[in-house]
Amino acid sequence: MQNKLQELAREMDGSYVDELHKLGMPCSTVGNFQTSSLLDESVVIGRESDKREVIKLLLDEEMGGRSNLSVIAIVGMGGVGKTTLAQLVYNNVDVDSNFDLKIWVSVSVEYNMERVTRSIVECACREKVKLSALEPIQMRLEEILNGKKFLIVLDGFWDEDEHNWDVLCLPLRVAARGSRVLVTTRSMLVSRIVATASPYQYHLQTLSDEDCWELLKQRAFSNMRHDTNKQLELRETGFKIAQKCDGLPLAARRIEVK
């Protein structure tokens, strides 16, 4: 096992590092994938503090000022765990009891305002929407949201056109006080456009090397979870591998020791 780890560490000095930094490329260069609100919280490491801070933003009605609706942006490089953090807060018991309605939409790279609005409606009413134009879909969304205290998560938002954002938000004006939209994005410009104010931009940092090592032990070395001696034997090389993950949990999860 030690030899395999040393070989893996050498490999990561080359091609793996290049692959690692692709995770931080702009959204327009990254392929599409869908996300959902479901999460196995037992596999999440090192995000308790971030979770508490974002939940505070979601639940503190005083921070919204006079507006019934506030928008929070989680911003950070690809692979740092923005979706995971959004899932953590979305499934929190206190958050769940605070809102009349919760909606999760995976926006994806190929942004389409009509599709996103339709997805919000379909998630809210749990049925397919047959309307085919933006205006009637927005009117239907207004009917659904009117007077409700809601939480809408827009995961993977990248459109940097401020006008498009304003149009997307038109049906949300009927929100009850304390409503929130939570946006995850890689773009600093998007976070500035969508966030209600600067305190609502949550900059998600990379994990510590120690947390990356914990992730590696959990995922790649799960067969030695209860073997303390084996863990100590492999720690030096394993920790070097963890350091090469640059604090990105997605990178740590992708590592396999065969």
CA–CA distances in Å: residue 90 to residues 51, 58, 82, 93, 101: 10, 10, 12, 9, 11
User: Which pLDDT belongs to residue 5?
Assistant: 47
Answer with the one of 167, 187, 203 that is the final residue of a domain.
203
Residue 33 lies in a domain: no
Q: Is the pLDDT of residue 3 over 80?
A: no
Residue 128 lies in a domain: yes
- In angstroms, the CA 164 to CA 181 distance is 16
Q: Are residues 215 and 144 in the same domain?
A: no
Please compute the mean of the pLDDT values over residues 18-46 and round it to a whole number.
Answer: 62
Q: Are residues 71 and 173 in the same domain?
A: yes
Q: Are residues 150 and 239 in the same domain?
A: no
Residue 114 lies in a domain: yes
Percent with pLDDT over 90 in the chain: 54
Q: Are residues 192 and 239 in the same domain?
A: no
User: Which pLDDT belongs to residue 230?
Assistant: 65
> At 122, which CATH number?
3.40.50.300
Residue 35 lies in a domain: no
The domain tally of the chain equals 2
Burial class (CB in 10 A: 0-12, 13-18, 19+), 42: exposed
Q: Are residues 62 and 139 in the same domain?
A: yes
Q: Are residues 199 and 102 in the same domain?
A: yes
CA–CA distances in Å: residue 25 to residues 79, 144, 184: 10, 37, 15
Please compute the mean of the pLDDT values over residues 216-244 and round it to a whole number.
Answer: 72
Q: Is the pLDDT of residue 48 over 80?
A: yes
Q: Are residues 238 and 191 in the same domain?
A: no
Q: Are residues 185 and 75 in the same domain?
A: yes
Residue 19 lies in a domain: no
Q: Are residues 198 and 212 in the same domain?
A: no
Q: Which two tokens stand for residue 147?
A: 């007077």
Report which residue type is found at 53. Answer: E
- In angstroms, the CA 211 to CA 213 distance is 5
Residue 188 lies in a domain: yes
Q: How far is CA 153 from the centre of its chain?
A: 9
Report the greatest alpha carbon distance in the chain: 64
Q: Which domain holds residue 218?
A: 2-14+208-254
Please compute the mean of the pLDDT values over residues 75-98 and round it to a whole number.
Answer: 95
User: Which pLDDT belongs to residue 41?
Assistant: 85
User: Which pLDDT belongs to residue 231?
Assistant: 63
Q: Are residues 136 and 220 in the same domain?
A: no
Q: Is the pLDDT of residue 12 over 70?
A: no
User: Which pLDDT belongs to residue 176?
Assistant: 95
pTM for the model stands at 0.85
How does residue 17 score in pLDDT terms, banded at 50, 70 and 90?
Answer: very low
How many CB atoms are located within 10 Å of the residue 67 CB? 12
Q: Are residues 76 and 175 in the same domain?
A: yes
Q: Is the pLDDT of residue 4 over 70?
A: no
Residue 42 lies in a domain: no
Phi-psi region of 126 (alpha: psi -120 to 50; beta: other; left: phi over 0): left
How does residue 252 score in pLDDT terms, banded at 50, 70 and 90?
Answer: confident
Q: Are residues 184 and 230 in the same domain?
A: no
Residue 245 lies in a domain: yes
